[in-house]
């Protein structure tokens, strides 16, 4: 499998575990390969595909931007309600986050404020508290047109923006989302032109509405706080889904032509 232009540098990446289970060898050399996946762990990708063979379908190549400002736009266009606020006129709390991916620098501000800062988005503070003093994020893997499972990631409310979970539970997608919600999530991914990745989804406790607050097209996982048995189950489920949605959909490349022996007369 080609990961282009970079190969995953850490076994923590979900694709590294999937490839191990499926017996796939990952390379970033565009020679002979069965499947190609755009791979550059950054918010906005800016690489050239000129070195790839003609007609290569590079998964996720049409989803180069996962900045939070763009995610907001696509989310609002699909779901019909907004995550963003104008902090200079909004009254009450809001969240300020870096536009860039994986910063984990969210802070709660009391609005209105005097002015905004470049490089940040300002969003609703979603009440995604569970029954105790924890918030719960719904990390949702996405594979072409499938949502194979959901991780319930719990953190204390006071460290809601941290990159470490206190505990993680594995859940069936149908136990978390209604059919209508699943269709909206799939529609969002199609609008974003995402083919493989992970979504961070919050459910507002008061309204019950879903908010997609982040997208990752080079996802890590499963979360390390998941039990060992559930990590094994999760990777098996993800690998089976990856095979069905990607490997099994691509014809095998032709075998190299054997050289014809020359007979002298």
Q: Is 248 exposed, middle or buried (0-12, 13-18, 19+ CB in 10 A)?
A: exposed
* Average pLDDT value for the chain: 92
Q: Is 109 domain-assigned? A: yes
Domain that holds residue 194: 68-247
- Whether residue 221 lies inside any domain: the answer is yes
45, part of any domain = no
Give the full edge-to-edge strand order of the sheet including 134-143: 167-171, 150-156, 134-143, 196-203, 210-216
List 152's β-bridge partners, or say none.
Answer: 138, 169
pLDDT value of residue 133: 87
Q: How many domains does the chain contain in total?
A: 1
Give dist(CA 109, CA 96) in Å, integer: 7
What is the pLDDT confidence band of residue 264, given thresholds at 50, 70 and 90?
A: very low
Task: Tell me what pLDDT residue 213 has.
Answer: 96
Check pLDDT > 50 for residue 187.
yes
Whether residue 198 is contained in a domain is answered as yes
Contact (Cβ atoms closer than 8 angstroms) between residue 154 and residue 167: yes
pLDDT value for 131: 78
Output the pLDDT for position 233.
98
Closest CA to 248 of 140, 143, 141: 143
Span 33-50, average pLDDT:
92
Q: What is the pLDDT of residues 2-37, one digit of tens each?
A: 999 999 999 999 999 999 999 999 999 998 898 999
Q: Give the pLDDT score at 59.
A: 96
pLDDT digits (tens, 9 = 90+) for 161-179: 888 899 999 999 999 999 9
Q: What is the CATH number of the domain that holds 173?
A: 3.30.470.20
Q: What is the pLDDT of residue 104?
A: 87
Across 184-202, average pLDDT: 98
Looking at residues 244-252, what average pLDDT do you find? Answer: 78
Overall pTM surpassing 0.95 (yes/no) = no
Confidence of residue 251 (pLDDT cuts 50, 70, 90): low
Report if residue 82 sits inside a domain.
yes
Task: Give tens-digit pLDDT for 101-159.
Answer: 888 899 999 999 999 999 999 999 999 999 788 999 999 999 999 999 999 999 999 88
Asked whether residue 43 is domain-assigned, the answer is no
Give the tokens for residue 24: 């796939």
Taking alpha carbons only, the member of 222, 246, 213 closest to residue 60 is 246
Evaluate whether residue 13 is within a structural domain. Answer: no
Enumerate residues 6+ apart whose C-beta is below 8 A from 28.
2, 3, 4, 5, 6, 7, 39
CA distance 72 to 16: 29
Is 11 a domain residue? no
User: Out of 49-53, 152-156, 204-208, 210-214, which region has the weakest mean confidence (pLDDT)?
Assistant: 49-53
pLDDT attached to residue 101: 86
Q: What is the DSSP string of 74-89?
A: HHHHHHSS-SB--TTT
For residue 32, the model assigns a pLDDT of: 82
């Amino acid at each position: 499998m080609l990961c282009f232009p970079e190969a995953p540098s850490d076994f923590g990446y979900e694709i590294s575990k999937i490839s191990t289970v499926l017996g796939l060898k990952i390379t970033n050399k565009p020679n002979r390969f069965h499947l190609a996946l755009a791979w550059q762990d950054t918010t906005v990708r800016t690489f050239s595909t000129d070195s790839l063979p003609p007609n290569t379908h590079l998964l996720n190549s049409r989803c180069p931007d996962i900045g939070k400002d763009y995610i907001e736009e696509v989310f609002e266009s699909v779901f019909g309600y907004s995550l963003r606020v104008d902090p200079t006129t909004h009254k009450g709390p809001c969240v300020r986050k870096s536009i860039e991916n994986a910063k984990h620098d969210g802070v709660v501000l009391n609005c209105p404020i005097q002015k905004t800062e470049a490089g940040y988005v300002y969003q609703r503070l979603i009440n995604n508290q569970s029954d105790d003093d924890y918030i719960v994020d719904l990390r949702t893997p996405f594979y072409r047109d499938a949502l194979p499972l959901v991780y319930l990631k719990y953190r204390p409310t006071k460290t809601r923006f941290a990159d470490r979970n206190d505990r993680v539970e594995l859940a069936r997608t149908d136990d978390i989302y209604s059919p209508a919600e699943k269709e909206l999530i799939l529609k969002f991914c199609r609008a974003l032109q995402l083919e493989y990745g992970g979504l961070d989804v919050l459910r507002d406790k008061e309204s019950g509405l879903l908010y997609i607050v982040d997208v990752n097209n080079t996802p890590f996982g499963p979360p390390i706080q998941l039990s060992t048995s559930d990590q094994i189950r999760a990777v098996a489920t993800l690998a089976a889904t990856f095979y069905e949605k990607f490997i099994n959909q691509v014809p095998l490349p032709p075998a190299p032509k054997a050289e014809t022996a020359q007979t002298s007369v």
